């Protein structure tokens, strides 16, 4: 039996407040995005049996819940919606002067970019192209270049907070681009206080974009994915550069696309920058194996029977040097390691040896 009780007004509903309850006006409620879609007729797709078997459990979940946020095609490229790419960036909003941005971008492209294996991190020739592709990439370039500008830190004090704000937004953004990942990598290599955090975020966004799978496709005679594969190898070096050298476990583990990374160098359009990058992929594969064999505890003493393992790793590093030195056209002096391979292995694995 229904009770004759008055229906509650909006001000009486729990968790809701009337717009007059606050002098500053109503607080907007941000949508979560976990909205339900209208039911649609199932599409007839020609899929392989193994792919259908893998997708069957998740396909059932999608069909029952109709939740957009759990939908993701693992074999599709994720692009930023056109409406978002047309939004004004921080330069259009007047947060940073356009002429100063042009000057900093030109300096990065002419000087600093070359230090990242011959400019492999930047694919745009103009500031306009970078801005149209990724505000995060643009802010990273400007912040990094402003760090080297002789203006008493004026430009850096403006660019750096903008870059941090865009990185924070990228943490929870649903859509990303390849240039977003490149921007995080550029920031990781030049902003030392953020290196570990930026490289980790870059790897996670890259896996959401399925770069690891596109990398395998590129090696498997799919040259249209060469740019994704190149960025994945760049990420591998970035990840290991800020993990192995500091005694941290790397995020990206070795697999066939990495152990056979030189297959990528047989694809069309490979440049000297790719050779330089893959020389670093090769050495970090060896250093990663050293790390996994001896572990992160540098205080552990090396047993007598482990010196043979050290010798084999020393041989691997010497072979790597002899293999890549002629391919890069470098002399012994310019290509020599800044440390002795044996000393590097001992330094990574242990502080002292057992007597």
Q: Residues 87-143: pLDDT tens digits?
A: 899 999 999 999 999 999 999 999 999 999 989 999 999 999 999 999 999 999 999
**Confidence check: pLDDT of 27 > 90:** no
Question: What integer pLDDT is reported at residue 185 of this predicted model?
Answer: 97
The per-residue pLDDT for range 306-352, each reduced to its tens digit, is: 999 999 999 999 999 999 999 998 644 444 333 344 444 444 444 33
Is the pLDDT at 17 greater than 90, yes or no? Answer: no
Please write the tens of the pLDDT for every residue from 162-213.
999 999 999 999 899 999 999 999 999 999 999 999 999 999 999 999 999 9
More confident call, 220 vs 226: 226
Q: Identify the pLDDT of residue 272.
A: 93
At residue 35, does pLDDT exceed 50?
A: no
- Residue 297's pLDDT band, with cuts at 50, 70 and 90, is confident
> Phi first, then psi: what are they for 353, rounded to 5°?
-105, 150
Looking at residue 336, what is its pLDDT? 39
CA distances from 83 to 87, 132, 135, 174, 175 (A): 7, 12, 14, 14, 12
Q: What is the pTM of this model?
A: 0.74
| Mean of pLDDT values over 205-225 | 91
Please choose, from the candidates 69, 52, 53, 70, the residue with its C-alpha nearest in 3D space to the C-alpha of residue 61.
70
More confident position, 213 or 353:
213
CA distances from 187 to 5, 141, 249 (A): 61, 8, 21
Contact 120, 234 (CB under 8 A): yes
Q: Return the pLDDT at 54.
A: 52
pLDDT of residue 203: 96
Where along the chain do its domains lie? Answer: 88-209, 221-329
């Amino acid at each position: 039996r229904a009770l004759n009780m008055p229906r509650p007004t909006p001000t009486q509903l729990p968790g809701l407040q009337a717009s007059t309850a606050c002098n500053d006006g109503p607080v907007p409620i941000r949508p979560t995005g976990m909205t339900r879609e209208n039911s649609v007729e199932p599409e007839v797709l020609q899929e392989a049996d193994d792919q259908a078997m893998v997708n069957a459990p998740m396909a059932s979940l999608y069909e029952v819940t109709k939740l957009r946020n759990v939908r993701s095609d693992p074999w599709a490229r994720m692009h930023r919606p056109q409406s978002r790419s047309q939004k004004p960036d921080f330069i259009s909003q007047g947060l940073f002067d356009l002429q100063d941005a042009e000057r900093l971008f030109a300096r990065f492209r002419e000087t600093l970019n070359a230090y990242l294996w011959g400019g492999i991190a930047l694919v745009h020739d103009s500031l306009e192209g970078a801005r149209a592709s990724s505000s995060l990439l643009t802010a990273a370039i400007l912040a990094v270049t402003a760090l080297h500008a002789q203006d008493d830190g004026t430009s850096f004090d403006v660019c750096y907070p903008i870059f941090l704000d865009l990185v924070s937004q990228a943490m929870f953004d649903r859509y990303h681009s390849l240039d977003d990942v490149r921007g995080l990598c550029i920031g990781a290599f030049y902003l030392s206080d953020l290196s570990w955090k930026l490289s980790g975020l870059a790897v996670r966004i890259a896996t959401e974009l399925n770069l690891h799978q596109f990398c395998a496709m590129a090696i498997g005679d799919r040259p249209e994915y060469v740019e994704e594969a190149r960025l994945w190898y760049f990420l591998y070096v970035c990840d290991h550069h800020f993990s192995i050298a500091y005694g941290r476990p790397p995020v990206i583990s070795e697999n066939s696309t990495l152990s056979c990374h030189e297959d990528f160098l047989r694809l069309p359009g490979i440049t000297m920058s790719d050779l330089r990058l893959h020389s670093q992929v090769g050495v970090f594969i060896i250093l990663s194996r050293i790390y996994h064999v001896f572990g992160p505890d540098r205080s552990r003493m090396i047993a007598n029977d482990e010196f043979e393992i050290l010798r084999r790793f020393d041989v691997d590093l010497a072979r790597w040097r002899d293999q890549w030195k002629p391919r890069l056209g470098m002399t012994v002096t310019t290509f020599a390691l800044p440390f002795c391979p044996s000393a590097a292995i001992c330094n990574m694995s242990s502080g002292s040896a057992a007597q």
